[in-house]
Amino acid sequence: MARQQLQVLSALDAAKTQFYHFTAIVIAGMGFFTDSYDLFCISLVTKLIGRIYYYVPGSTNPGSLPPNVNAAINGVALCGTLAGQLFFGWIGDKMGRKRVYGVTLILMVVSAIASGLSFGQTPKGVVATLCFFRFWLGFGVGGDYPLSATIMSEYANKKTRGAFIAAVFAMQGFGILAGGIVSIIVASAFQAAYPALPYQTDPVGSTVPQADYVWRIILMVGAIPAALTYYWRMKMPETARYTALVARNAKQAASDMATVLNVEMEAEPEIVERLAMEPSNSYGLFSKEFLRRHGLHLLGTTSTWFFIDIAFYSQSLFQKDIFTAVGWLPSAKTMSALRETYMIARAQTIIALCGTIPGYWFTVAFIDYIGRFAIQLMGFFMMTAFMLGISIPYLPRKNTDPTAVVMYAFTFFFSNFGPNATTFVVPAEIFPARLRSTCHGISAACGKAGAIIGAFGFLYAAESPVKALDDAGYAPGIGVQNALYVLAATDFLGFLFTFLVPDAKGKSLEEMCGEVEPEEGSGVVSA
C-alpha cells in the first residue's frame, strides 16, 4: 500500500526553478570554490617553497622539497579533509545541516589566513606550522562535502536536482582556475617589481627575498570567498526534509518552506508522526535492514569515489613530464623562482580552462537528461581509454608530440564530465534523510583515501626503476609508464563498480530510499 507524501516535500519536488534555487547554488557553490582553491593552490607554490627553504649552496639545481616534506605539505590537507568528511557528515545528521554549516567556513577562513602566516626559525619550523594549519583547513573543507551536497539535494526539485547538485560541485573548477589566475597575477607583480636572473646564471639571486611573500599571499587569498559567504549561509533555513523527517517538526518545516516557496503550506504533524513510526524509517546505519536495503549502494558509492580520486589526484604526477616535453615548462634551472611559479600556474590554468571546467558544466547540462549512471559509466570508460592512449606510446624526455597534452586534457574532461562529478551527486540522493549526510561523508572519505594513495603512493611508484634517473631523495619505482597502466586499471575497476550504483534521475529522494511513496493521483503543490 502506498504511503502518503508530505505536502511540503511534494511542493519541493514539483517546484519550478526559481530564485531560491540559484541562491542555494551560489551559497553552497562558493564553499566549493573555496574548497578547491585551498586544496589545489598548494601544488602551485611547493616548488617556490623548496627554492626558498631548501636551497643547497653549490648545487647545479634549485632547491626542492625533500620527498617526506613534499608529501607532508601536499598530503596533510587531504588527511584533514578525510577526517572532516566523516565528522561533519555524522554531525550533520545529528544536529542538522544548517547548525554546523557555518562552522566549516570559519575553519577555512581562519586556517587559510594562518597558513599564510606560518612562522618558524628554521625550514622545519615553517613547514611544521604550515602543515598544522593545513590539516585544519582540510578539516573544514571536508565538512563542506556532505553538508553542501545534502543541503542542495534537499532543497532541489526532482526534475533538475542532479544539475543543481552538480552545479555546486562545478564551482570546484572555477576555484582551481582562480588559484592559477591569482598565482599568475601575484608572481607577475613580484617579478616585475623584483626582477631576477635564472638559477643557472645567478643561483642565489634567482630567488629574491620577497618571494617568501608570494606563496603566503596565494594561500591567504583563499579566505576571501569563504568569508564573503558566511552571512548568507547563516540566513539559510534548515532543509524541510531534515526538519520534517529527522527532527519531526512538521510546523517548522511548513513555515520555512512557505517562506521559501511563497505558498501556503499545511503542517501535517499526523503524517510526520505516522512516518516516524514505520520500521522503514527507523533502522540505523549498522543494522541488518540498512545492509539489505543500501549495503550494495554504499559499496558502490564508496568504491567508485575511491577509484576516481586515485586517478584524479595522481594525474599531476606526470604533468611535469608532459608540460616539459611540449615546451610549456622549461627546465627549472633556466628560470628564476618567480618565473617558475608563473609558468606552473599558466600551464595548470590552461588545463583548467580547456579540460577541467568544460567537463563539470557538461555534467550540469546533461545529468538530468541522460542520467548519473550513463555519465559515470562513460566517464570511467573514456578515462581508461585516454590513460592507455598516453601510456602505451609513452617516451619520456623524447616525446614532443602535443597529442599527449590533448589526451591529458581529455582525461580531465571525462573525469569531470563523468565520475568526479557524479560520485559527489549520487550519495546525496539515494540514502534516507536521517543517514544522508553520514553516508555522503563516508563515501567522500573513501574518495579522499583514494586521493592520498593517488597523490603519494604513485608519487613514489612513478619514479624510474633506474636509480640514476630518479629525483633526489626518492627510491626506485615502477616508472611513469607502468604507473599509468595501473591508473588505467583503476579507472576500469571504477567502470565495473558503477553497476552497483542506482540512478536517481527523475525520482524523489523519498522514492529512492523508500521513506515514502507518493500516492497515485495525490495533489502536488507547485510554486
Residue type for 13, please?
D
Rounded to the nearest 10 degrees, the angle between the axes of helix 288-314 and helix 372-391 is 40
pLDDT tops 70 at residue 523: no
Q: Answer for the pair 214, 186: CB distance below 8 angstroms, yes or no.
A: yes
Q: Answer for the pair 331, 417: CB distance below 8 angstroms, yes or no.
A: no
- Average pLDDT of the segment spanning 337-362: 88
Tell me which residue has cell 618567480: 338
Percent helix / strand / coil, the chain, rounded to 5: 75, 0, 25
Higher-pLDDT residue of 131 and 234 is 131
Read off the pLDDT band of 331 (50, 70, 90). Answer: confident
Q: According to DSSP H, which parts of 243-287 are helical?
A: 250-261, 269-277
pLDDT tops 70 at residue 505: yes
Q: Answer for the pair 215, 48: CB distance below 8 angstroms, yes or no.
A: yes
DSSP class of 337 = H
Q: What is the pLDDT, as a whole number, of residue 22?
A: 86
Phi-psi region of 479 (alpha: psi -120 to 50; beta: other; left: phi over 0): left
What are residue 331's phi and psi, to 5 degrees?
-60, 140
pLDDT tops 80 at residue 371: yes
Read off the pLDDT band of 86 (50, 70, 90). Answer: very high
pLDDT tops 70 at residue 487: yes
Distances from the Cα of 508 to the Cα of 18, 39, 90, 158, 338, angstroms: 18, 33, 23, 5, 52
Q: Give the burial class of 287: count Cβ atoms within 10 A of its Cβ; 0-12 exposed, 13-18 middle, 19 or more buried.
A: exposed
Q: Answer for the pair 403, 144: CB distance below 8 angstroms, yes or no.
A: no
Query: Grid coordinates representing 185?
Result: 597575477
Q: What is the pLDDT, as a whole number, of residue 284?
A: 85
Q: Distance between CA atoms of 185 and 304, rounded to whole angstroms?
A: 37
Q: What is the pLDDT, as a whole number, of residue 2?
A: 45
pLDDT tops 90 at residue 272: no
Weakest-pLDDT range from 77-81, 317-321, 464-468: 317-321
Q: Distance between CA atoms of 150 and 154, rounded to whole angstroms?
A: 6
Weakest-pLDDT range from 22-31, 162-171, 244-253, 486-495: 244-253
Higher-pLDDT residue of 271 and 492 is 492
Q: What is the pLDDT, as a whole number, of residue 249?
A: 80
Q: What is the pLDDT, as a whole number, of residue 52?
A: 93
Q: Distance between CA atoms of 23 and 32, rounded to whole angstroms?
A: 14
Query: Grid coordinates representing 39?
Result: 586544496
Q: Distance between CA atoms of 494 and 488, rounded to whole angstroms?
A: 10
Per-residue three-class SS string for 351-362: HHHHHHHHHHHH
pLDDT, tens digit, 9 for 90 and up, residues 274-290:
666 666 677 888 899 89
pLDDT tops 90 at residue 242: no
pLDDT tops 60 at residue 452: yes
Weakest-pLDDT range from 16-20, 94-98, 171-175, 506-510: 16-20
Q: Answer for the pair 455, 74: CB distance below 8 angstroms, yes or no.
A: yes
Report the mean per-residue pLDDT for the chain.
85
Residue type for 63, please?
G
- Average pLDDT of the segment spanning 364-392: 92
Q: What is the pLDDT, as a whole number, of residue 273?
A: 67
Going by C-alpha positions, the residue among 364, 396, 431, 442 that lies closest to residue 161 is 364
CB proximity list for 292: less than 8 A, separation 6 or greater: none
Q: What is the pLDDT, as a whole number, of residue 508?
A: 85
Task: Tell me the pTM.
Answer: 0.89
Highest mean pLDDT: which range of 99-108, 224-233, 433-442: 433-442
Higher-pLDDT residue of 357 and 271 is 357
Read off the pLDDT band of 399 (50, 70, 90). Answer: very low
pLDDT tops 90 at residue 395: no
Q: What is the pLDDT, as a whole number, of residue 491?
A: 94
What are residue 464's phi and psi, to 5 degrees?
-65, 145
Read off the pLDDT band of 320 (50, 70, 90). Answer: low
Query: Grid coordinates representing 95?
Result: 544536529
Query: Grid coordinates representing 522?
Result: 495525490
Q: What is the pLDDT, as a whole number, of residue 309?
A: 93
Quote the distance between the C-alpha of residue 54 and its chain's center.
30
- Average pLDDT of the segment spanning 51-57: 91
Query: Grid coordinates representing 59?
Result: 648545487
Q: What is the pLDDT, as a whole number, of residue 437?
A: 95
Tell me which residue has cell 604533468: 319
